[in-house]
């Protein structure tokens, strides 16, 4: 009986070792040591893709011609790939990693435009939610708040609105985050830091806002104009409304 038990135990141990060896062999076979391909995941912005997978693939081919099936994984330059793709004007960030099957995974975040600087005789540009100025896309257009005027063009040349005029970014955010104002105010004219004017979707009056300070107080005065003055005088009674002076609404 003891011999039979010993034999059974030995058989069990041998089978266990064989099974462990087989599992190890399978895992080794399924873990690639060479590059097998690329999977690109681009995060859209409100369903809009300023960067296309085809464009990313072409960038990789041009910058890393050695990135082909069979390349040893340790030779895949993940940091260099991230840095190269991050140089694209519409790409905010890139995360590169390699899976067990030898696949290079790229997760790409796009910049999100919040406003557009329009110029009559030159190319337009977008302002991102971080205040960075980026070029427009030849493929897609994002419907955002329009900025025009001499100072807006100067901000475009500087390349960073948050750095040059952070109060303007506060004003832009205030407008686009409010459902009513986002629909009613489609355009700002930025002539200087202290001369901001608003165009309305409904109503011909130009609203003289002044500087981008005391934003909430000034919009409350615009609400007073809408609720108390226009119902008595009519939408076309005035061509200019100013809320730039403290505790005053000037209508002409």
> Is the separation of the CB atoms in 178 and 168 below 8 Å?
no
Q: What is the pLDDT of residues 96-116, one digit of tens each?
A: 999 888 899 999 998 889 999
Sign of the CA dihedral with 250 first, then 233, 199, and 110 last? positive
- Burial (CB count <10 Å: 0-12, 13-18, 19+), residue 149: buried
Domain boundary among 58, 80, 110: 110
Q: Tens digits of per-residue pLDDT, 144-181? A: 999 999 999 999 999 899 999 999 999 999 999 999 99
| Residue 44 DSSP SS3 | coil
Residues 242, 124 within the same domain: yes
Q: What's the whole-number mean pLDDT along residues 215-244?
A: 86
How many domains does the chain fold into?
2
29 inside domain? no
Nearest to 118 by CA among 133, 139, 129: 133
Q: What CATH number is given to the structural domain containing 84?
A: 3.10.20.310
Residues 120, 236 within the same domain: yes
Provide the residue range defining the domain that includes 53: 37-110
Question: What secondary structure does DSSP assign to 71-92, as a single string?
Answer: -BGGG--HHHHHHHHHTSTTEE
Q: Are residues 131 and 53 in the same domain?
A: no
**Position 21 in a domain:** no
- Does residue 5 have a pLDDT over 60? no
Quickly tell me which residue has 């629909």 as its tokens. Answer: 183
- In order of 92, 130, 144, 231, 245, the CA distances from 173 in angstroms are 19, 11, 11, 29, 22
Picking from 56, 85, 110, the residue at the C-terminal end of a domain is: 110
Q: Which residues contact 97 (CB under 8 A, 6 or more apart)?
A: 78, 104, 105
Q: Lowest mean pLDDT of 94-103, 133-142, 147-156, 215-224, name the range.
A: 133-142
């Amino acid at each position: 009986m003891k011999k039979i038990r010993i034999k059974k135990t030995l058989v069990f141990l041998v089978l266990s070792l064989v099974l462990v060896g087989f599992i190890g062999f399978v895992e080794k076979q399924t873990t690639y040591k060479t590059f097998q391909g690329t999977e690109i995941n681009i995060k859209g912005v409100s369903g809009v893709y300023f960067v296309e997978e085809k464009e990313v693939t072409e960038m990789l081919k041009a910058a890393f011609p050695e990135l082909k099936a069979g390349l040893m994984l340790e030779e895949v330059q993940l940091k260099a790939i991230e840095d190269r793709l991050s140089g694209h004007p519409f790409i905010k960030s890139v995360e590169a990693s390699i899976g067990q099957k030898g696949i290079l995974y790229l997760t790409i975040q796009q910049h999100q435009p919040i406003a557009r600087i329009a110029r009559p005789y030159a190319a337009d540009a977008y302002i991102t939610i971080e205040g960075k100025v980026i070029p427009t896309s030849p493929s897609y257009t994002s419907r955002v708040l329009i900025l025009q005027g001499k100072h807006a063009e100067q901000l475009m040349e500087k390349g960073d609105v948050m750095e040059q005029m952070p109060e303007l970014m506060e004003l832009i955010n205030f407008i686009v985050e409010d459902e009513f104002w986002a629909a009613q105010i489609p355009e700002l004219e930025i002539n200087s830091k202290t001369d901001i004017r608003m165009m309305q979707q409904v109503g011909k009056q130009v609203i003289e806002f002044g500087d981008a300070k005391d934003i909430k107080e000034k919009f409350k005065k615009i609400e007073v104009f809408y609720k108390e003055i226009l119902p008595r005088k009519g939408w076309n009674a005035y061509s200019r409304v100013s809320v730039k002076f403290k505790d005053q609404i000037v209508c002409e």
